[in-house]
A and B are shown apart, each in its own frame.
Chain A
Amino acid sequence: MIVDPAALPGPEPVLRLEGIGKRYAGAECDALRDVSLELGTDELLAVVGQSGCGKTTLLRIVAGLEVPDAGSVRIGGRVVAGDEGWTPPERRGVGMVFQDFGLFPHLRVEQNVAYGLGRLPRAQRRPRVEELLELVDLAGLGRRYPHQLSGGQQQRVALARALAPEPRLLLLDEPFSNLDRPLKAALRESLVRVLRRTAVPTLLVVHDAEDVLVLADRVAVLQGGRIVREGTPGELCRNPGDAYVERFFQRLRLPDANRLPDELPSGSLPAGEEPLGPA
């Protein structure tokens, strides 16, 4: 869904995976085989699939925390993993929110958020931190320590921290799996809002169909280590083409089996708000 008609996707996708393969010695996980994906600017792509580690592995390969056995990863047009070269995670400009949030327990919230701002001149750090805390609705909680916050608040700090250095790309690993159900809906909403405002291209791993519908512009289904289906949530809902995909969206099936759930939550910005971050 395009927010600002002027910001058309550029010719080069922010992220391009080509033929990614990864094999595990332990074989508790499926290997990844020949996975190819593209993520455009201002797009949110959800990766779904059976539980196993394939999805997380894919994310970690993009992040640079794992090395693919085959294929290449390009970010912003440049090869970060492949025959032409390797860029370690700290130099990829990729933000990541981990499943367990990974907040630094010995640092305050504001210090956590400021952690990645080393490049920013000192004077600009504080304002940026405050800006982000406000964005995630945690203004005023900067002096607290992570263990003094609720689960939902911790997730938002993790998000703020990842967004602070203006990453080219954002990775979210099952952002809601550590939270209770009732919390999810509210957080989902707030997540959508934040992501739209910052307009940062996002790769998201989830296992809940509802999350997909609310958040994603496109979905990729990973099965047996391969991408078996790809498209917008609407397309996949209407036309699963695969037993797993069908089951996945089954929960959302409305009484009228053929009716397209075209009333997706809009997720668009409230009028008057400007997108933040790289456009």
Chain B
Amino acid sequence: MEIALRRNWRLTVRSVPWGWTLAAVGLAALLAIPVVTVPVGAVLAPTGDAWTHVSRTLLPRYAGNTLFLLAVSGGLALVLGAGSAWLVAMCDFPGRRFVRWALVLPLAVPAYMAAYVYAAMFGVTGPVQRVLRAVVPGGGDAFYYWNVMRIEVVAVIFALVLFPYVYLPARALLESRAGPALEAARVLGRGHLEVFRTVGLPLARPALAAGLALVLMEVVNDYGAVRYFGVPTFTTGIFRAWFTLGDLDTAVRLAAVLMIVVLVLLLAERWQRGGARYATKGGGSRATPYPLRGVGAAGAFVFCAVPVALGFAVPVLHLAAWTLRTGPEVVDANFLRLAANSLALAALAGAAAVLVGLVLAYACRLDPTRLTRAASRVALLGYSVPGAVIAVGVLLVTLALDDVLGGGVRLVLTGTAAALVVAYVVRFLAVAYLPLDAGLDRVGRSLGEASRMLGVRPLGTLLRVELPLLRGTLVAAGTLVVIDVLKELPLTLILRPFNFDTLATRAFQLASDEQVAQSAPAALLVILSATAVVALLHRSLRRDAESEHAR
């Protein structure tokens, strides 16, 4: 006779590690508030004629431009990322090892900085024309007008600096888990392209979908590049409504519309993934590569090297040239303080994000129920919300809190570095969380359990067992956040405190003020810092893998 088993709820409740669970839920709620405030604010905001005006005249344009950018950037990034990942993972050609790591470099270049560079490059007094005038006989007085400041160009620029988001997961997948399947297909005699089409692409689909989603979200989030090129999008609309028209209600409404766009993107990505959980587990080996020769080898190298050149080398060299020219006038004590500010802020945000991510990830393991899992998901929401929207949300919250706490004195929270750091954590938590989560998976369950059986409480266990084994991952997670914060523009522009500029905002301001050359030192510093961090990341990931082998 089967007696139905009902759970002993009293016991279940008692056995929950409430400290951790409440911490996780509390953190998630805190991080979700700014995000939720926007749609709520949009619904509650009165419909003024400002909104009517915007929705009638500007909304269609914002939508059209945004869709165009998504389609073109996304498509091109997919081609560049998937193609180069395939070549690097599946083939052998001279220079392969170099491009394999170099293809990551464009990630260090923020889109808006690439935009300034390319706009100036083809401008009347830009280097391309100068060279032409110097080189072409009789062309000494010719000034050409090449209109590069158009939406098509900015779409290409996005693709050039964002394709590594597709490249990295695709490469990881092709090099490990897909190896055996691809090998099998080849052994069965299928031609190279056919293997790519019938086996490689479908296998890589989850990785490609995830990478593409990241690219699209970054495009939607951008403010600097589209502003500079004069392309009206939702994000520029938010800024315009908030600052130029002083209309927070309209800004909130636009932010809510933008969130819907992003939601659609995310749902599409999940549908594409078909429920397959994208795991970052390694293991599995690389299939034997196709050796390429002659034209094929040269072609492969060029295909991989060109995005690196255009997405990284060209902007960096150009900025370096400008820096040489304007450096002495721009780099002074103020500039150095600016740089220190930026780095300190980024480091703080990185540490905070890692801390919060750890608590969330560990709570999920200590209390593996739907509650903690939901808390994690909610906390990760922020990554899919554009920086400008989060800034608006945080602003709404701090304004409200200030009203309550300060009784009308609106400076207790609004405009402090604390609000900015919180906003960064809301925005970039996922960047720290995902590697930490994967890292904890790799460490496994039994070590922590063994420690608890020996009388050490969960916090002690975390400190004495998991963390020492995750040192590399902690650094990686933190540095990933640092890169993103250094590059971040729209959120910082809105929320930064008194007397506080970051390298990114300073570069943007100067460039917008038609002092592009003067913006170069700040821009260059951001890119070089990001590059250094990317290199560090590469090494720490490798160190982690090696220490795993030793186990």
Contact = CB atoms under 8 A, between A and B. Distances in A.
A124 to B, nearest CB: 16
A100 B11 CA distance: 29
13 contacts: A23-B5, A63-B453, A65-B453, A70-B7, A83-B8, A90-B457, A96-B449, A98-B449, A98-B450, A102-B447, A103-B450, A106-B468, A116-B453
A101 B447 CA distance: 9
Interface in A129-171: 147, 161-162, 165
Given A104-B450, A115-B454, 7 more contacts: A23-B5, A68-B8, A88-B452, A98-B449, A104-B451, A116-B456, A119-B455
Interface string A94-132: 111011101111100000000110110000000000000
Nearest to B451: A115
Interface residues on B, range: 20 to 34
Contact of A70 (B8, B454, B457): B8
B93 to A, nearest CB: 38
Interface stretch (B12-20, B237-245, B275-283): B12-20
B338 to A, nearest CB: 40
A81 B12 CA distance: 10
Contacts of B309: none
Interface string B20-49: 000000000000000000000000000000
A74 to B, nearest CB: 14
B264 interface: no
Contacts of A67: 11-12, 15
Contact of B14 (A21, A22, A86, A162): A86
Given A88-B17, A102-B446, A69 B6 contact: yes
A90 B452 contact: yes
B8 A89 contact: no
B56 interface: no
B469 interface: yes
Contacts of A106: 468-469
B11 to A, nearest CB: 6
Interface string B444-472: 00110111111111100000110011000
Nearest to B448: A102
Nearest to A148: B550
B15 A33 contact: no
Contacts of B97: none
Contacts of A85: 14
Nearest to B2: A33
Contacts of B450: 96, 98, 102-104, 161
Given A21-B5, A23-B5, A98-B446, A83 B10 contact: yes
B456 A162 contact: no
B445 to A, nearest CB: 9
A277 interface: no
Contact of A90 (B11, B455, B551): B455
A90 B5 contact: no
B456 A90 contact: yes
B15 A86 contact: yes
A91 interface: yes
B3 interface: yes
B551 A147 contact: yes
A17 B253 CA distance: 60
Q: Which of B7, B17, B455, B469 has the most CB of A within 10 A?
A: B455
Interface string A23-46: 100000001011000000000000
B393 to A, nearest CB: 36
B240 to A, nearest CB: 51
A82 interface: yes
Nearest to B447: A102
A260 to B, nearest CB: 36
B430 to A, nearest CB: 27
A194 to B, nearest CB: 18
A235 B310 CA distance: 80
Contacts of A22: 5
B63 to A, nearest CB: 43
A105 B548 CA distance: 10
B22 to A, nearest CB: 16
Contacts of B469: 105-106
A82 B11 contact: yes
Nearest to B9: A69
Contact of B6 (A70, A89, A165): A70
Contacts of B550: 105, 147
Contacts of B11: 67-68, 81-83, 86
B446 A100 contact: yes
Contacts of B456: 90, 115-116, 118
A106 B465 CA distance: 8
Nearest to A71: B8
A84 to B, nearest CB: 9
A38 B41 CA distance: 61
B454 A161 contact: yes
A116 B455 contact: yes
Nearest to A86: B14
